[in-house]
Each structure stands twice: as structure tokens, then as C-alpha cells.
Amino acid sequence: MSQQVLDQIVKRFSDSVLSTHAHRGDETVVLHRNALVAVVQFLRDDPQMAFNFCVDITAVDLSAMPDYVGPRFEVVYHFHSLSHKHRIRLKVPLEEADLELDSLSHLYGGANWFEREVWDMFGVRFRNSPDHRRILLYEEFVGHPLRKDYPQRGYQPLIDMPTLPRPDEELPPLASEDL
């Protein structure tokens, strides 16, 4: 990763940068969500930056983080430049009430599937996404399992579990339960 990239972003987008840090050599920029597309466009197209490679898009639910006050979700982007060999991490905090973010699918072909996974696992909506279905789970699935309030062992089978109820017992509910 590169300190120089971080400085450039702070210089150009000082209004939108919420904070920066470089823990264990991973330079990170925390951004306001409205600036995301502009920053990524700059990172991709500027010859000094040339981040032509979108490594990963994921999210973190911070609601169970001890001593943490702030927006519940963070969408995390990792970019890499094959020519300059530097990397950067962008983070976009999102409030639970308004989980929407601009899609990067028009900039990177691979972004769409990563965004679909973030939607699937965390329920973050991506505006202008060409394809916004779930990807790893099935469409009938209720909830977003990587959120911290989703139970660790929540069962949600697509087909009823083959449990035979006793005659005097009702069928167990299909909704997820912490067992």
C-alpha cells in the first residue's frame, strides 16, 4: 500500500475524507458515500494512481464492536494498481436507516458480483447496479446472515426439514431461531 496515494486523496477530496489511518501498513481512507464514485474514478483514471484492479468489496457490521459509536455498517473496498504496485483501502460508513451506495459496476466489471454478495450478506443496496439479485443464497431467504443480529445458527431451509412431529404437536416454525 502507499502513503503517497493516501496523501493525494486527502489533498483532492479533503471535504469528503472523514479520516485516514495506516494500520500495519494498510493505508485506509474513510470516505463520505457521496464522494465514492468520484474518488474511485480518479483512482482508476489518473496516471499517477492507475488503480486498474478492484480486488475486493465487502462490508462489516460494527454493531457488536465494543466501545464503538458511529454508523452501523462500513463497506470496504480494496484497490490495487498492477502498474504502480500500490494498494489502497477505502471505507464508506453507512447508517442502518439508509443503506444505499452507488455501484461501481460501470468502472470495474468484477464489482457487480462483489456488490451482489454485499447485498446478500449485509443488505446494502447499490444504486444503478445492472444486476441486484442475491448471489450465494436463494431469493426466498429472509434477512442478511452476516449481520451481527442474525443468529449464529439460524436455520432457514428452502425445503422443510424432515422432522416428523408427534400427533399432538404442531410443526416447528421455519423462521430462524438461535438454537
Partner 1 sequence: MSNALLLNDKSRGSKPGYAPSVDESDLHTEHMVLNMGPSHPATHGTTKFILKLEGETVADVDIHIGYLHRGFEKMCESGTWAQVLPYTDRLNYSSPLCNNVGYVLAVEKLLGIEVPDRAKYIRALVCEMSRITDHFTAIGAGALELGGYTPFLYGVQAREMFYELVEELTGARLTTAFTRIGGVKHDLTSDFWEHVDAVLPEVERLMIDVDKLLTNNRIFYDRMVDVGTISQDDAISYGFTGICLRSTGVGYDVRKDYPYLIYDRLDFDVPVGHRGDNYDRYLCRVEEIRQSIRMMKQIREQMEPGPIAVDDWGVVLPPKDAVYNSIEAMIAHFKLIMEGVKVPRGEVYSYTEAGNGELGFYLVSDGSGRPYRLRIRPPCFALMSGLKKMIVGKLLADIVPTYDTINMIGGENDR
Which residues of the chain form contacts with partner 1 (CB under 8 A)?
A: 23-24, 26, 28, 52-56, 58, 60-61, 64-66, 76, 78, 82, 85, 87, 89, 108-110, 112-114, 117, 121, 134-138, 145-146, 150, 152
Q: What is the DSSP string of 33-55?
A: GGGHHHHHHHHHH-TTT---EEE
Residue in 87, 61, 65, 64 with CA at minimum distance from that of residue 74? 61
Least distance (Å) from partner 1 to the CB of residue 29? 13
Neighbours of 77 (CB within 10 A): 26
Provide the CB-side half-sphere exposure for 1 (13 A, CA).
18
Least distance (Å) from partner 1 to the CB of residue 171? 24
The set of cell numbers assigned to 172 is: 416447528
Query: What whole-number distance in Å separates Cα of residue 133 and Cα of residue 98?
Result: 19
CB closer to partner 1 out of 12 and 141:
141
CB closer to partner 1 out of 12 and 147:
147
Least distance (Å) from partner 1 to the CB of residue 100? 21
CB closer to partner 1 out of 85 and 166:
85
Residue in 81, 73, 65, 133 with CA at minimum distance from that of residue 97? 73
CB closer to partner 1 out of 66 and 173:
66
Least distance (Å) from partner 1 to the CB of residue 99? 17
Decide: helix, strand or coil at residue 6: helix
CB closer to partner 1 out of 33 and 145:
145
Least distance (Å) from partner 1 to the CB of residue 55? 6
